[in-house]
Copies of this chain bind each other. A is one copy, B any other.
Amino acid sequence: METSTQPTPGPKSPTRVVVVGGGFAGLNVAKGLAGCSGVEVVLLDRRNHHLFQPLLYQVAMAGLSPAEIATPIRSIFRRARNVQVLMAEVRGVLPREHRVVTDAGEIPYDFLVLACGAEHSYFGHDEWERFAPGLKTLEQATEIRRRVLTAFERAEVEGSQGAAPSPWLTFAIVGGGPTGVELAGTLGEIARFTLSRDFRHIDPSAARVILIEAGPRLLPAFHEELGAQARRDLESLGVQVWTGCMVRAIDGESLVLARSGGSDEERLPAKSVIWAAGVKPSPLNAALHTALDIPLDRQGRVIVGPDLTLPGFDDVFLLGDQAACRETPDGPALPGLAPVAMQQGRWAARAIRDRLRGRKIEPFRYIDKGQMATIGRKRAVVEFGRLRFSGLLAWWLWLVIHIYYLIGFKNRFFVIWEWAYSYLTYHRGARLITKRDWQSGP
């Protein structure tokens, strides 16, 4: 009989799901499969922690400590015996052979979920990174904190020697999206209130905070009305908003700027520059494109349909910022927001479970959770479908939602406390300048 060549059905080895990336998408896949019998999850990340990105600007602005918005991935899954967490970096994917290549060797999979997120894009000018850090990781956040606080200290030293107001006190933030707006608002407040009594030779409130946006308005993903409101709110904190302004060069001492469409260039002396202008997905995408001719969109994201799989490989899911998910073939890609990543993660976990049980899978549908951005310590703009509002109520909503989604009771408690404390006193809890190098010596 022909069946004799088939292996005897013995104790079935579990289905292995390899998840790459412990961000909002990857974490939700692993959570959705935790405790699922017959499934073994291997969650890979090159870092040991899940980072709550929406509050990262607070670390850069010395309001929160890194540990308050980051949680060891391992400890999130300590009770999920079918989830193993490995700190490893993925070097490539071999979808035809069902294996991922990592710096810790090759790992075979039955299902693969790629959710590697995005990093900053300097639009071909990677040499600007040195002078204008982006804000995607804890290291970058503490580096920005170091630079901003050091700038005030340097200006104070120059002031003690009787020097004129200094380019140390001009802060340029490039990019008028939510991150740029949040950084600019907080920095405006720090200069005006937090530091106002701390210096003897400079007036921190005379610091210039300039928010530079190439497009015609702030918060382009929001309704125009909210962009205008954000601008007014920022200006009331002393922030200068320069829209229609392109960056041509950054050299650590100044920026070269040009009006959109114009050819005249202007030099702005500014020692501190923060980059919040653009993102690009993981380099894994380019490798997939080269090896397998996978189509990418203009930003380099893999174009996926509502089944969220890699074209041609229905056992490979692509989630979050790494993918351009179109719910209809000609529709726009979903935005790079945390709710999109979370919903995709939960959906992918359910899709894998359903697939294993032979159930039909419904296509992914994004339930719009709206979007929000905060400006300083008591204002925000919120857009939820056609509902739009701003001001203190928006700020409270922003606060409640962000605390709710923070992982861990202890973090929530600490963040609320830090916020209440700095709300009442304008103090900021983490005003530390730490050096880049740990070794002793000058």
Using a CB–CB cutoff of 8 Å, the interface residues on chain A facing chain B are 46-49, 65-68, 70, 72, 74-75, 78-79, 81, 84, 86-89, 104-105, 119-120, 129-130, 133-134, 136-140, 142-143, 149-150, 153-154, 156-157, 160-161, 197-201, 410, 413-414, 417, 421, 427, 429-440, 442
Q: Residue of B at shortest CB range from A48? A: B433
B72 touches A431 (CB 8 A): yes
B129 touches A440 (CB 8 A): yes
A410 touches B432 (CB 8 A): no
Q: How far is the CA of A72 from the CA of B133 in the complex (A)?
A: 24
Copies in the complex: 2
Q: Given A48-B433, A433-B49, A440-B119, answer yes or no on A88-B157 (Cβ-Cβ < 8 Å).
A: yes
B138 touches A75 (CB 8 A): no
Contacts of A199 in B (CB 8 A): 74
A439 touches which of B66, B105, B129 (Cβ 8 Å): B129
Q: Given A197-B79, A201-B84, answer yes or no on A410-B434 (Cβ-Cβ < 8 Å).
A: no
Among A47, A75, A150, A440, max chain B CB count under 10 A is at A440
B438 touches A133 (CB 8 A): yes
Contacts of A70 in B (CB 8 A): 432
A22 to chain B, nearest CB (A): 12
Contacts of A201 in B (CB 8 A): 84
A104 touches which of B105, B157, B436 (Cβ 8 Å): B157
Contacts of A130 in B (CB 8 A): 439
Contacts of A439 in B (CB 8 A): 129-130, 133
Q: How far is the CA of A160 from the CA of B106 in the complex (A)?
A: 11
Contacts of A440 in B (CB 8 A): 119-120, 129, 134, 136-137, 140
